[in-house]
Structure 1
Amino acid sequence: MLDKYLYGQVERISPEAPVPVVLVSKESYTPGGAGNVANNIVSLKANCRLIGLIGNDENAGVLKKLLSSNGIEYNLLEWDMPTITKTRVVSGNQQLIRLDFEKSSEISENLKEKLKEQIAKWIETSSIVVISDYGKNICSYEICQFTIKQASKSKKSVIVDPKKTDWQRYRGATVITPNLKELGDFYGRRLENDDKVIESVAKKIYPHLGISYLVVTRSEKGMTVYDGKEFYHFPTEAKEVYDVSGAGDTVVATLSVALASGFDIKEAALLANKAAGIVVGKAGTSPVYYHELLKEVENESFTKLVSLDELLVILDDLRKKNKKIVFTNGCFDIIHRGHVTYLREAKKLGDVLIIGLNSDESVKRLKGNARPINSVEDRANVLSALEVVDYVVVFEEDTPYELLSKVRPDILVKGGDYKEEEVVGREFAHQTVILPFVAGYSTTNIIKKMGGLS
């Protein structure tokens, strides 16, 4: 599927009907459905191959381009239905409406055989198999059972994200991951989100499923795992619920990567629960990145260092939330009081503070062969320990010009006695602010004093 987002402002009500008029200022696309599962998998630094159906239309081309740019290998077969597209209209922090463009049809015998051929081929060289069933006819009883049996022959685990109430098609899978509603639909009645209720239902249905593990995602109550003997309840890890779009995809993706990496089901579920807690704090259909999950696992760990590509995705999400981005840069070789005061004042200017950090080679060219005193990894770790710093990104050039051309912050901050017209990259920021340095503090002076003491 293809997810499309239209962003704009509402300033009036239509004279034609009592509905808001949205002045669209931006549009974006992201892989949806099984494509979002694949996107989450590669964002966790695992390889992924995607099999499915698409139309012969413009949106199919958009989707293929997105998958390729994200490093996802795919074999998408064309059929005579349009590429399923979901368009969401968003104003501020509020989704106003979702428009679904799709048609349903049975899959021809010829397409089924082509799907089976590709599935069998790729299972042999894969570590784990995910069936992401969105109820769009591709995951029929025939296709699901073929996939599961092929995986079993190759001794590969299968994770299923179910949709239909006929779960016999998933028989033989390793893990099935219904949410609370899907579990209730299968059981035949609406279920209360309570541990005892979930346990009672799981005990009744488990013997009939032919699976190893039942993993129930329970929204604000977290996640429950049942292995036929014991229950394991994982309370929610969400700190802020912004958008639940694609949270189930994130759970399935994280489970698959963890199990394929040798984690047991409890460890994999713990990671998946943490990943879900991260993704619901993002706007729209967004993946969870390796560094985000690592940071969560290590409990706000020592590093906030991200790559430029990761940062650009993070910034896109922050801008959807109307966060004000502040950027500054420097060598930060030996952090002192002057640095801390400067960064504290910079953070006050907005919501998120990003530090552009000169690489070791860059510092050497600017400061001489004796510098830096501390490596870029050490400098990034020290900056990460400061509460006011949100992200650190390293650049190799002598100036942050190229970096700023990509980041395009709301506010660019420089320290010292610069004039605004002298600030490199100012044309990429909405505003440039000059903050004074704290008198008497500098890395150079500290190094001189240290030399004097020796």
Structure 2
Amino acid sequence: MRIVVVGDVMLDVDLSGEATRLSPDAPVPVVDVSGVKRRAGGAGLVARMLAEDGWPVTLVTVLGDDDAGRQLEAHLAGVRLVSGPSGHPSPVKTRVRAGSHPVVRFDQGCGKAPVPEASPAMLRAVEQAGVIIVADYGRGLAENPQLRDLLARLAGSVPIIWDPHPSGPQPVPGVAVVTPNLAEASKAAGAYANLQDTATQDPAARAGRILMEHWQSRAVLVTKGEQGAVLLQQGSDSAQAVPAPRVEAGDPCGAGDRLAASLAVHLLAGRELGEAARLAVHDAADFLASGGVSALPDPAGPTAAAPKPPNQAAGRLRTSEPLLLARAVRDNGGTVVATGGCFDLLHAGHVRSLAAARELGDCLIVCLNSDDSVRRLKGPERPIISQQDRAELLLAMECVDAVMVFDEDTPEAALERLRPDIWVKGGDYKGARLPEADLVEKWGGRCLTVPYHPARSTTGLADALAKVS
């Protein structure tokens, strides 16, 4: 069944470089731009995430008749696009980053826009949905009366996830779940009730309860960044805390879009909302740990890497999101293989072991120790390479399909979430029972070893580099 994303799109531009001096004209940093990346933002980002994960997705939106609008169409390659004219310039949001730090963002064409028309083709596309995401970015599409009437009629039979915007309208009644962040929820709820008296109640739960009553939605999921989320559901007097795994992430951009996309996938699979919310929060954390929007490929860029040829069992379901990949491969009858380690300096031994592990199944997911985890295990001088760079190097290998970063000293917690069919370690464990064996066997998995290459090690490589430095 098809996932339909309805909402506003914009062109996101990232300018990245280094700032090593101040401008002589004013005390502001001078950024020497070394990289420019463009992508579809807003509802376009949600649709692209789903398309890259292999899900059948339609994006219903409006586009401006300008250069930015044409760039957006190019960056939405692989997405079934049903669009009408916006009648106004395409919004462009440009962020400037120095190293990992944002310096400034400037917006073009982002003022208040008139409510666009919804064409018959757009309305027909919405009617064909198995699940709907309304990604409202305050540009007017969610205010269209014909579209709102249709969504209200469908709400009783089709799960609708509504990601609201402070400048947009309130959701139509009866949607399955609304997903504001805490700031958005507090501002919206403050228009209906006094939120000052929250000393004995979680502010997120209080705001969510107010919004659920006034918006007449079946549930509200208030997201709280690294603290996870709080789920309120009609018919339940208690709020359900949804904790997030601890990850190191520099740029939270796109986490809300990843959460909405994952909710749609899990609801489409028939999971109940509480379980879908838990999985979606973890998917969003994994997305950020894997590099967030900066790690997304550019389908329109001339240097974009070609996707790896998928195996028959996985179909087009290769994804940078390890949990989604594992579920997709498993649902298609494939075998999920996982391995783990620090992979601080990649060497030939790693390459051979990873290639051998990939031959055992239909996808290979690497459980990667975070920087903090490596420091605790190896000492304060390690890692030599940061976790984001280590993940990027691993993903560049033909045999690696996804990377899951974990912060604990051992991979047990990551394995509990991933539940691979096969857990692989190097052959230096040969003759000994693997430490993770009891856990993996709990869900019917197997532990295997692949050949070990003792003459090749990260420590040996680091020592050799130290001698020539």
Q: Partner of 1:233 in structure 2?
A: 241
Q: 1:135 aligns with which of 124, 128, 138?
A: 138
Q: Partner of 1:186 in structure 2?
A: 188
Secondary structure in 2 aligned to 1:39?
helix
Deviation at 1:151, TM superposition (A): 2.2
Q: Partner of 1:156 in structure 2?
A: 158
Deviation at 1:74, TM superposition (A): 0.8
Structure 2: runs of 5 or more not aligned = 1-9, 297-317, 329-335, 358-373, 401-419, 430-452, 465-469
Q: Partner of 2:435 in structure 1?
A: none
**Partner Cα separation in structure 2 for residue 385 and residue 208 of structure 1:** 60
**Partner Cα separation in structure 2 for residue 250 and residue 333 of structure 1:** 30
Deviation at 1:286, TM superposition (A): 5.6
Identity of aligned residues (%): 23
Matches within 5 A, 1:414-425: none
The one-letter amino acid paired with 1:171 is: P
Deviations 1:368-394 (A, max 9, x none): xxxxxxxxxx9x95368999xxxxxxx
**Partner Cα separation in structure 2 for residue 193 and residue 52 of structure 1:** 42
Report the count of equivalent residues.
341
Q: Partner of 2:323 in structure 1?
A: 293
Q: Partner of 1:252 in structure 2?
A: 260
**Partner Cα separation in structure 1 for residue 346 and residue 141 of structure 2:** 46
1:26 aligns with 2:35: yes
In terms of fraction of residues, the more helix-rich structure is 1
Secondary structure in 2 aligned to 1:255?
helix
Q: 1:13 aligns with which of 22, 30, 46?
A: 22
The one-letter amino acid paired with 1:182 is: E
Deviation at 1:43, TM superposition (A): 3.5
Structure 1: runs of 5 or more not aligned = 306-322, 336-343, 360-377, 388-413, 418-432, 437-454
The one-letter amino acid paired with 1:28 is: K
Q: Partner of 1:88 in structure 2?
A: 95
**Partner Cα separation in structure 2 for residue 37 and residue 81 of structure 1:** 22
Deviation at 1:333, TM superposition (A): 8.4
Q: CA RMSD in A?
A: 4.1
**Partner Cα separation in structure 2 for residue 219 and residue 193 of structure 1:** 21
Secondary structure in 1 aligned to 2:107?
strand
Secondary structure in 2 aligned to 1:280?
helix
**Partner Cα separation in structure 1 for residue 251 and residue 275 of structure 2:** 25
Asked if 1 retains the 8 angstrom alpha-carbon contact of 2:62 and 2:85, the reply is yes
**Partner Cα separation in structure 1 for residue 399 and residue 205 of structure 2:** 54
Matches within 5 A, 1:392-411: none
1:303 aligns with 2:329: no
Deviations 1:380-412 (A, max 9, x none): 95368999xxxxxxxxxxxxxxxxxxxxxxxxx
Asked if 1 retains the 8 angstrom alpha-carbon contact of 2:84 and 2:118, the reply is no
Q: Partner of 1:197 in structure 2?
A: 203
Secondary structure in 1 aligned to 2:36?
strand
Give the TM-score normalised by the residue count of structure 2: 0.62
**Partner Cα separation in structure 2 for residue 386 and residue 25 of structure 1:** 43
1:382 aligns with 2:424: yes
Asked if 2 retains the 8 angstrom alpha-carbon contact of 1:246 and 1:285, the reply is no
Asked if 2 retains the 8 angstrom alpha-carbon contact of 1:279 and 1:286, the reply is no
Matches within 5 A, 1:49-448: 49-68=58-77, 71-104=78-111, 106-107=113-114, 111-114=116-119, 117-140=120-143, 142-143=145-146, 145-152=148-155, 155-164=157-166, 168-188=170-190, 196-228=202-234, 229=236, 230-281=238-289, 282-284=291-293, 289=319, 291-294=321-324, 302-303=337-338, 326=346, 328=348, 329-330=351-352, 350-351=385-386, 352=390, 354=394, 356=397, 382=424
**Partner Cα separation in structure 2 for residue 190 and residue 327 of structure 1:** 56
Give the TM-score normalised by the residue count of structure 1: 0.64
Deviations 1:171-207 (A, max 9, x none): 2322111111111111116777985333334334433
Asked if 1 retains the 8 angstrom alpha-carbon contact of 2:164 and 2:170, the reply is no
Asked if 1 retains the 8 angstrom alpha-carbon contact of 2:164 and 2:171, the reply is no
**Cα pair distance change 1:244/1:194, threshold 3 Å:** farther
1:2 aligns with 2:7: no
